[in-house]
Amino acid sequence: MTQCCGKIPVPDDVSEIKKSAEAYGRKFQGDIGESDAAHIAVHELGLNGEFFDPKHTGLDSVYRDDKGTLVLLESKFSLAGRLETTKHGKQGSVEWIRYKAEQMIDPTSSLYSPDNAKIGEEILRVGPEKVHYVKVHRHPETLESRVDWVR
């Protein structure tokens, strides 16, 4: 990051940028982990899907258990499968969930959509400590999946 540099590009630079944008789109590796996690959530954990627009830096998916409690699901498709620590707390912590819920109801934020706003409002109404947070980690080499109920 310290080496991030800006310059006026030459036409060749832009054609390379376009090639990679066309090839990979906005997400690739994450999609594999997320579709796998969705399968586990529905078929193994018996959760019901909620209307939710997954964005780039928010929650991966949202479900509801048989008692009606929200279950936020994070999928990891990497060797370590660690939950990241951010400026607003560790992923899955009460502080982090509250911050994301606040972003989801803010119409200016990239995490906002009408469906996400409803979920964000519910998280803030019941309290972020009262929703579940589950991590589904799929190891990219062994392809084994592990489910952790973080809260």
Partner 1 sequence: MITQEYILKEIDRFAEKVKKYDSEYRQKDKLPKNHELRPYRWCSRDIVFSLLMVKHERYGNYLYADLCLIANPPQYYENSGAGVAMGFLLSEAYKCGTTMEIVFGKNVEPRLENGQQKSRVPAYICDLAIDLGVSLKHVFEGHISPFEARQMYMGLAGFSKTAQEKIMKLSVGGKLTPERVCFLVMGGLWSLPEAEALILGSAHPEDVLTSASDPALRHLYLDDLLAARGAILGGVLDRKLLKKELVINGQIVESEDEENDITFDFDEELYAKIYKFGEKLELPWVEGKKVELSPDVSLAVLVRSRTSSEILEGADRDLEHLSALVSKYRGSVVGLLYPRDWEEIQTDRRLSLKRQIEAAGVYLMTSPESVAGLDKEAMRRLETGRMVRHE
Would you tell me which residues interact with partner 1 (CB under 8 A)? Answer: 1-11, 13-15, 17-18, 21-22, 25-26, 30, 56-57, 86-88, 102-103, 106-112
Q: Which residues pair with 86 in a beta bridge?
A: 89
The CB-of-132 to partner 1 minimum distance in angstroms stands at: 23
Q: Would the CA dihedral through 67, 129, 97, 137 be positive or negative?
A: negative
* Residue 3 or 43 with smaller CB distance to partner 1: 3
Burial of residue 2 (number of CB atoms within 10 Å: 0-12, 13-18, 19+)? exposed
Q: Cβ closer to partner 1: 47 or 93?
A: 93
Closest to partner 1 by CB, 26 or 67: 26
Name 138's bridge partners.
145
Q: How far is the CB of 48 from partner 1 (least distance, A)?
A: 26
What is the rounded distance in angstroms from the CA atom of residue 39 to the CA atom of residue 135? 13
User: Between 4 and 80, whose beta carbon lies closer to partner 1?
Assistant: 4
